[in-house]
Amino acid sequence: MKFEKVINILGWVASITAIIMYVAYIPQIINNINGVKGSPIQPLATAINTALWVIYALFKKERDIPLALCNGVGTIFGIITFLTAL
Longest Cα separation, the chain: 52
Give pLDDT, residue 12: 86
Q: Which range of residues forms the domain containing residue 61? A: 37-86
Contact predicate 76/83, CB 8 Å:
no
Give the model's confidence band at 64: pLDDT under 50 very low, under 70 low, under 90 confident, else very high: very high
- Residues 10-34, mean pLDDT to the nearest whole number: 93
Q: Residue 1 pLDDT more than 80?
A: no
* Cβ contacts of 12-19, under 8 Å, gap ≥ 24: 12/66, 14/66, 14/70, 15/66, 15/67, 15/69, 15/70, 16/70, 18/70, 18/71, 18/73, 18/74, 19/69, 19/70, 19/73, 19/74
Number of domains in the chain: 1
Question: Distance between CA 3 and CA 9 in Å, rounded?
Answer: 10
